[in-house]
């Protein structure tokens, strides 16, 4: 039996690797999971009743691109949040950002760029779908260190022009998972200018945009509009998963230029899975409501403050600017050993940073010295987990 060679060398996904690392060992206390980025704050209580009221919509095929009411609710949210005007024709509803991050790359990555195999570039460590999207598109993935030295964002400006010329798509994640860095408007503007000069497209994964600490992170759509950039250069992804604490709803969107969106929509029409109509209706109402988002953010603020108090004295600790992960350097520089030690001593489960990163040519891995700690649980449980983490690893 032959299988697609493009995916032959993928490492095992982070969570099976974590189970293989930890599950043979007894936890040193009641387990506390701080691994997966699954928000545990309350979601609006009207979602269930509204889904039930809209259930007849499950009996029809949903509109592929999104109902007009949903697309205008998203456009209105973008206008409120970023002050940017986006025509609903430049939007498409998606089953969360992961699906869209993958399919938009398939739809927009050319077969060749300047006579050669195109490059799809991304930060390292990174959200893993970017790498698989690059492979699926037949492109060469380029993993750019997003480390303390680079401000925890990929340094596109530092790449040689010959490499930039080969890039077809450049992913950026802001706020970044796992590092928690926020790309400034200046960073995004520079990236768009590079994209214009070297003929590539910027894919901005903004699904943590509403989980921020001191100020709302800038978004690529507004930056592009502000500098009069070619709208085809900017493709933006967002979702309700983190914003509204409904990762299981599978509802997000992608925004692109008119020509790019036509291609993204065409691929959806042939091969995509549209979002069920009742979910589209609920989504429109969620995008229109900010009160539940502000309430959830207030819970994150309380947890960030706890993290500052509990881990403030830990070397290398820095609060994230956005998103809900701590990206914590560990003593000894081995995140895998630290995750195992923590589990065995305290029952706290965290993800070794190297599971979220690719090895470089020298066998180094920019995530190796870190653990990723998700602050998704309710504040009491998060506080208990952080205290055990501090005492178990740094005590």
Ligand X SMILES: Cc1ncc(COP(=O)(O)O)c(C=O)c1O
**Which residues of the chain form contacts with ligand X (CB under 6 A)?**
37, 96-98, 127, 173, 177, 205, 207, 239, 241, 247, 252
Q: For ligand X, which is the closer residue by CB, 252 or 392?
A: 252
- Give 268-274's long-range contacts (Cβ < 8 A, gap of 24+): 268/64, 268/65, 268/92, 268/103, 269/64, 272/64, 272/99, 272/103, 273/95, 273/99, 274/61, 274/62, 274/63, 274/64, 274/65, 274/93
**What residue number has its CB nearest to ligand X?**
96
CB of 239 to ligand X, least distance (A): 3
Q: For ligand X, which is the closer residue by CB, 255 or 393?
A: 255
Q: For ligand X, which is the closer residue by CB, 150 or 344?
A: 150
Q: For ligand X, which is the closer residue by CB, 70 or 314?
A: 70
Q: For ligand X, which is the closer residue by CB, 178 or 347?
A: 178
How far, in Å, are 40, 54, 249 from residue 282 at the CA level?
Answer: 19, 9, 9
CB of 249 to ligand X, least distance (A): 9
Q: For ligand X, which is the closer residue by CB, 241 or 336?
A: 241
CB of 95 to ligand X, least distance (A): 7
Q: For ligand X, which is the closer residue by CB, 97 or 147?
A: 97
CB of 100 to ligand X, least distance (A): 8
**Residue whose tokens read 């691109």:** 65
Q: For ligand X, which is the closer residue by CB, 37 or 44?
A: 37
Q: For ligand X, which is the closer residue by CB, 219 or 252?
A: 252
Number of C-beta neighbours around residue 213 at 10 A = 18
Q: Roughly what angle, to the nearest 10 degrees, separates helices 14-22 and 335-346?
A: 50
**CB-based contacts of 139: which residues, under 8 Å, 6+ apart?**
105, 109, 117, 118, 119, 120, 168, 169
- SS3 for 25? coil
CB of 219 to ligand X, least distance (A): 14
CB of 130 to ligand X, least distance (A): 9
Q: Which residues of 28-60 are buried (b: 16+ CB within 10 A; e: fewer)?
A: beeebbbbebebbbebbeebeeebeebeebeee
d(CA 206, CA 203): 9
Strands 348-349 and 234-239: unpaired
Number of C-beta neighbours around residue 312 at 10 A = 10
Least Cα distance to 93 among 273, 248, 311 occurs for: 273
CB of 289 to ligand X, least distance (A): 18
CB of 5 to ligand X, least distance (A): 26
Q: For ligand X, which is the closer residue by CB, 247 or 369?
A: 247
d(CA 12, CA 10): 6
Least Cα distance to 297 among 47, 41, 35 occurs for: 41
CB of 204 to ligand X, least distance (A): 11
CB of 385 to ligand X, least distance (A): 19
How far, in Å, are 6, 54, 92, 271, 273 from residue 64 at the CA level?
Answer: 29, 18, 8, 10, 8
């Amino acid at each position: 039996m032959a299988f697609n060679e493009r995916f032959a060398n993928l490492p095992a996904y982070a969570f099976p690797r974590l189970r293989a690392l930890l599950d043979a060992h007894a936890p040193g206390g009641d387990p506390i999971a701080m691994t997966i980025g699954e928000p545990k704050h309350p979601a609006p209580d009207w979602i269930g009743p509204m889904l039930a009221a809209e259930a007849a919509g499950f009996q029809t095929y949903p509109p592929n691109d999104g109902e007009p009411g949903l697309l205008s609710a998203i456009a209105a949210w973008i206008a409120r949040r970023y002050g940017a005007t986006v025509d609903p024709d430049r939007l498409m509803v998606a089953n969360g950002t992961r699906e869209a991050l993958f399919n938009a790359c398939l739809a927009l990555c050319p077969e060749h760029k300047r006579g050669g195999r195109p490059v799809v570039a991304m930060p390292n460590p990174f959200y893993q779908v970017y790498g698989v999207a690059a492979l699926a598109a037949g492109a060469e993935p380029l993993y750019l260190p997003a480390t303390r030295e680079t401000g925890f964002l990929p340094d596109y400006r530092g790449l040689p022009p010959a490499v930039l010329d080969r890039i077809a798509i450049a992913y950026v994640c802001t706020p970044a998972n796992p590092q928690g860095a926020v790309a400034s408007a200046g960073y995004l503007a520079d990236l768009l200018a590079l994209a214009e000069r070297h003929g590539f497209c910027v894919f901005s994964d903004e699904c943590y945009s509403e989980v921020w600490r001191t100020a709302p992170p800038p978004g690529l759509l507004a930056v592009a509009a502000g500098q009069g950039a070619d709208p085809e250069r900017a493709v933006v992804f967002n979702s309700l998963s983190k914003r509204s604490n409904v990762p299981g709803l599978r509802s997000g969107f992608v925004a692109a230029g008119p020509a790019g969106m036509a291609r993204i929509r065409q691929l959806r029409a042939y091969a995509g899975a549209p979002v069920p109509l009742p979910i589209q209706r609920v989504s429109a109402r969620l995008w229109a409501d900010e009160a539940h988002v502000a309430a959830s953010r207030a819970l994150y603020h309380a947890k960030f403050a706890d993290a500052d108090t509990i881990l403030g004295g830990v070397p290398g600790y820095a609060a994230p600017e956005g998103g809900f992960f701590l990206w914590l350097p560990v003593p000894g520089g081995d995140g895998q050993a630290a995750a195992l030690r923590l589990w065995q001593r305290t029952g706290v489960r965290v993800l070794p940073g190297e599971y979220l990163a690719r090895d470089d040519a020298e066998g180094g891995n920019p995530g190796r010295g870190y653990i990723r700690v998700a602050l998704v649980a309710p504040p009491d449980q998060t506080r208990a987990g952080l205290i055990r983490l501090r005492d178990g690893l740094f005590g």
